[in-house]
Amino acid sequence: MAEYLNQLNDTQRQAVETTEGPVLVLAGAGTGKTRVLTTRFAHILLSGKAYPNQILAVTFTNKASKEMSERIAQLIERPVEGLWLGSFHKICAKMLRMHAELVGLASNFTILDTDDQLRLIKQIIPAYGIDTKTTPPQLILGTIQFWKDKGYTPENLSLTERNNSEKAQIATIYTEYQKRLQQINACDFGDLMLHMLTIFNQHSEILHKYQRYFRYILVDEYQDTNTIQYLWLRLLAQKSDMPANICCVGDDDQSIYSWRGAEITNILRFEQDFPGATLIRLENNYRSTPEILGAASGLIQMNTQRLGKTLRAANSTLQGEKVTISSVWDSDDEARLICEQIIKLHQEGYRYGDMAILMRTGSQTRPFEERMIALGLPYKIIGGVRFYERAEIRDVIAYMRVVAQPADDLALERIINVPRRGVGPAALQKIHQIRRELTIPLSDAVDYLLIHQGLKGKIFNELTQLMNHFDQTRKKIEQDGHINAIEYLLDICGYMDMWKHDPAPDATGRLENIKELFHAMAEFPTLLEFLEHISLIMDNDELSGDDKINLMTLHAAKGLEFNTVFLPGWEEGLFPSQRTMDESGNNGLEEERRLAYVGITRAKQRLFISHAANRQLYGSWQTSIPSRFIEEIPNQFTKIVSYFKQSQSYNAQQNRFKEHRYSQQSTLTHSTAYEGSKSTSIKKPYTPPKTKSIPVGSRVFHQKFGYGIVTGVEQNKLEIQFDKSGIKNVIDSFVTLES
């Protein structure tokens, strides 16, 4: 048997070798689903069933695509090119470049980011008299994206959507938004798929070409495909004259994108869509220790909406450590503790790159970043667009976009007055007016005004120069290459000087960032390819590179694995999020629990969960109680450690409590009202009989009920007025003294 098949168990091998006909692999975390797909790709090639570019492989992370192409290169002993391998968006962007004219775009179209999308929406709104208080641009954009994820173009928006008066207004804007995108030769993320779906539906010859071309289709993380992705896949896979050689792998317990339109029913429908499908279940988890797996399985069993699967540790004799659950005072302490643990593990020989901190929300990274910067620990943020979000980077990219694509209005608008060229709002309005009247791109409107003397004085001179610089740069690209040309442009139009003369302390850093951008650009043969890369970096999850601690959201961590995983912020209101706690029904909460399951199952050897008793949210301190998910983990797999220090400054705590009490007033009132009937039983503080030295009036913390004040003591029993849980009687050894 070929060596690569030897590295699989029997069921995995079956999934690899059943190349013909539809196959669905439904299995829990770490059972080798992604490994099956990678090996299957290799197997199809090595058994001569298809060429590399005849396989369509949709992966969720760049890491998975990278691993697949490395594996392929290794097997066929040469580098591979032209693979149809990557995320749905990446693959659709590649296709759309070839057929753009069919949806009214040129092949060098720009892919807009959220910022640009919002700018465009804001440009459109005024003409429709929309009240942005009740219908903010974000809501409009969100609705449009939702429709796009469902596969609705403005033309085929369902009647139910149109008949709803509020939606009808947004539908009108949607139509205008698509028109504007076309005018500026751009599309947004959702369009990449939507346009391809339109093309497939309207041009059957193109669809047939791809159907014949892709002999095999592989899809990872199938549980998270949304409607449009599903429709797109189904069109490609369901052929009238050939069997559908499609293999999808997924895990219903890891479905975490329903908020972005993912439909778990796609998995359930697979066998209907593809009759005669082979269903394969994998049950051995090769990733995690029995303790980590036990914790994950115990937790996910609390969900009711499950298909139900068996999952066991492949090597159950291997004993690992218990999952550590740490209680800390506040989010800064949490960052301090986790950094200490990281340093310790690193001293024991573990790589930074094999450790990850996974968070519920992106904004939780701040205390960790600050701490790591202070300690000089190397870290990277995965999945964010931090670098590319910086103002100077966005400016430079806007310059590049105008060069590559003169019709890119949004890019031109961003830099037309950066550095200052005297183009104020009035001048800009004038240019826009011409643009609207003549329905031409913004840059043509500038040219028009320059020719017809519509602009005068300084603005005239500056803009004439700027437009000339753009023209020169376009020519220069052909002679000197894109890097030299862009460098030249930034110099000649004064952009670099603007930062060089800026007295602000961070100006040097900005110049360095621009240098860094040129490094990145050097890896791409053309400007267009580089700009394409930038647009796709939005869902970037590159993990390559140096030995650095990985910081990312739980959503971005899907499919990945690390030796050691830290899961901070397991507090009610943060995780599960307040929104899912407030909403009726269990859907949101179950999705949060699946997210917790995804987080736990990323760990191979060590897992640290933590919760802080105080967290700064929206600028004020709030007390929080441990997440219900902590309690739901069977305690034979956990050990609980409290890091509350007796020495913690009493005053600091008092101040913080004053602050948070203020911000929590409504909650407190609420809980008092709820516990009202019991309030008569509160004993007045009096000189307490001595027990475990916890006197009446003490501030204490209880693992389950959170913070409270001792209101009564009877031997080893305490009566406590908890901040959030009302009055309870508890045994004194279950509480820790706070002050």
Asked if 435 interacts with ligand ATP (CB under 6 A), we say no
Q: Which does 116 bind (CB under 5 to 8 A by kind): ligand ATP, Mg ion, none?
A: none
Q: Residue of minimal CB distance from Mg ion?
A: 34
# residues contacting Mg ion (CB under 5 A): 3
- Listed in order, strand segments (DSSP E) in 435-517 are none
Which residue, chain included where needed, has tokens 């599960």?
576
* Residue 296 or 485 with smaller CB distance to ligand ATP: 296
Task: Please report whether residue 285 would count as binding Mg ion according to CB under 5 A.
Answer: no
d(CA 644, CA 333): 9
Residue 507 assigned ligand-binding role: no
The DSSP H or E segment spanning 77 is none
Q: What is the x/- site pattern for ligand ATP, positions 559-598, by CB under 6 A?
A: x-x-------------------------------------
Q: Which does 627 bind (CB under 5 to 8 A by kind): ligand ATP, Mg ion, none?
A: none
Least Å distance, CB 276 to ligand ATP, is: 24
Residue 287 binds ligand ATP (CB under 6 A): yes
712 has binding-site annotation: no
34 annotated to bind ligand: yes
Q: Site for ligand ATP (CB under 6 A): which residue of 22, 30, 406, 712?
A: 30
Return the residue of 146, 210, 286, 488 that touches ligand ATP, per CB under 6 A.
Answer: 286
Please state the φ and ψ torsions of residue 207, each to the nearest 5 degrees. Answer: -60, -45
Query: What does the angle CA 60 – CA 62 – CA 68 come to, to the nearest 5 degrees?
Result: 90
Does 383 bind ligand ATP (CB under 6 A)? Our answer is: no
CA distances from 24 to 11, 237, 251, 278, 455 (A): 12, 13, 10, 6, 64
Partner from ligand ATP, Mg ion, none contacting 577, C-beta within 5 to 8 A by type? none
Other Cβ atoms closer than 10 A to 276:
9
* CA–CA distance, 416 with 493 (Å, rounded to integer): 11
Q: Counting contacts by CB under 6 A, is residue 311 touching ligand ATP?
A: no
**Nearest distance from C-beta of residue 28 to ligand ATP, angstroms:** 7
Shortest approach of ligand ATP to residue 347 CB, angstroms?
25
SS3 551: strand
Q: CA of 350: how far to CAs of 340, 346, 354, 475, in Å?
A: 14, 5, 7, 52
The string over 313-330, giving b where at least 16 C-beta atoms fall within 10 Å of a residue's C-beta and e elsewhere, is: bbeeeeebebbbbbbbbb
Distance of CA 10 to the CA centre of its chain: 35
**Closest by Cα among 321, 388, 347, 230 to 604:** 321
Question: Which 3 state secondary structure label does DSSP give 615?
Answer: strand
**Which residue lies nearer to ligand ATP by CB, 37 or 410?**
37
Q: What is the DSSP letter of 54?
A: G
Asked if residue 255 binds ligand ATP (CB under 6 A), the reply is no
- Which residue among 24, 26, 35, 513 contacts ligand ATP (CB under 6 A)? 35
Residue 392 contact partner, candidates ligand ATP, Mg ion, none, CB within 5 to 8 A by sort of partner: none
Query: Which of the ranges 34-42, 162-170, 538-546, 621-629 carries the binding residues for Mg ion, by CB under 5 A?
Result: 34-42
Side-chain half-sphere CA neighbours of 68 within 13 A: 34
Per CB under 6 A, 31 contacts ligand ATP: yes
Q: Shortest Cβ distance from residue 603 to Mg ion (Å)?
A: 15
Report CA 204 to chain centroid distance, whole Å: 34
Binding segment for ligand ATP (CB under 6 A), chosen from 4-12, 161-169, 438-446, 503-511, is 4-12
Residue carrying structure tokens 């000087």: 497
Output the DSSP codes for 238-291.
Answer: --SSS---EEEEE-GGG---GGGTB-THHHHHHHHHSTTPEEEEE-EE-SS-HH
Distance CA 98, CA 680 (A): 76
Q: Coil, strand, or helix at residue 60?
A: coil
Comparing CB distances to Mg ion, the nearer of 250 and 441 is 250
CB 173 within 8 Å of CB 132? no
Judged by DSSP in three states, 711 sits in: strand
In the complex with ligand ATP, the residue whose CB is nearer, 246 or 727, is 246
| β-pair type (246-250, 216-219) | parallel
Residue 365 interacting with Mg ion (CB under 5 A)? no
Q: Does 559 bind Mg ion (CB under 5 A)?
A: yes
Q: How many CB atoms lie within 10 A of CB 29?
A: 25
CA pseudo-torsion sign 120, 126, 132, 134: negative
Q: Which stretch binds Mg ion (CB under 5 A): 33-41, 374-382, 413-421, 471-479?
A: 33-41
Strand partners, 358: 552
Tell me whether residue 19 is annotated as binding: no
Please indicate if the annotation marks 261 as binding a ligand: no
Q: Does 8 interact with ligand ATP (rule: CB under 6 A)?
A: yes
C-beta closer to Mg ion: residue 68 or 427: 68
CB of 3 to Mg ion, least distance (A): 22
Site string (442-481) toward ligand ATP, x via CB under 6 A: ----------------------------------------
Kindly tell me which residue out of 9, 175, 182, 616 binds ligand ATP, with binding defined by CB under 6 A. Answer: 9
What's the closest the beta carbon of residue 32 comes to Mg ion, in angstroms?
Answer: 8
Please report whether residue 12 would count as binding ligand ATP according to CB under 6 A: yes
Per-residue three-class SS string for 81-124: CCCEEECHHHHHHHHHHHHHHHHCCCCCCEECCHHHHHHHHHHH
Q: Does 251 bind ligand ATP (CB under 6 A)?
A: yes
Rg (CA), the chain: 29
CB under 5 to 8 A by kind: which of Mg ion, ligand ATP, none does 8 bind? ligand ATP
Chosen from ligand ATP, Mg ion, none, partner binding at 414 (C-beta under 5 to 8 Å by type)? none
Whole-angstrom Cα distance, residue 393 to residue 398?
Answer: 8
What is the smallest separation between the CB atom of 560 and ligand ATP, expressed in angstroms?
8
User: Contact with Mg ion (CB under 5 A): which of 34, 143, 331, 535?
Assistant: 34
Do the beta carbons of residue 289 and residue 637 sit within 8 Å? Answer: no
59 is in an annotated binding site: no
SS (H, E, C) 592-608: HHHHHHHHHCCEEEEEE
Q: How many beta carbons lie within 10 A of that of residue 384, not counting itself?
A: 19
> Using CB under 6 A, which residues numbered 344 to 363 contact ligand ATP?
none
Q: Site for ligand ATP (CB under 6 A): which residue of 11, 34, 117, 178? A: 34
Q: Does the footprint of ligand ATP cover residue 29 (CB under 6 A)? A: yes
- Judged by beta carbon distances under 5 to 8 A according to partner kind, the member of ligand ATP, Mg ion, none in contact with residue 286 is ligand ATP
- The residues carrying an active-site annotation are 33-34, 220-221, 254, 602
Q: How far apart are CA 87 and CA 93, in angstroms?
A: 10
Provide, rounded to whole angstroms, the least separation between the CB of residue 105 and ligand ATP.
35
Q: Find the binding residues for ligand ATP in span 543-562 (CB under 6 A).
A: 559, 561
CA distances (Å), 679 to each of 16, 275, 377, 730, in order?
Answer: 65, 64, 50, 17
> Rounded to the nearest 5°, which phi and psi values hold at 716?
-95, 10
Question: Which residue in the shown chain puts its C-beta closest to ligand ATP?
Answer: 32
> Among residues 34 and 721, whose Cβ is nearest to ligand ATP?
34
Binding residues: 27-34
- Which residues in this chain contact ligand ATP in the complex, by CB under 6 A? 8-9, 12, 27, 29-35, 251, 254, 286-287, 559, 561, 601
- Which residues in this chain contact Mg ion in the complex, by CB under 5 A? 33-34, 559
Binding residues for ATP: 27-34
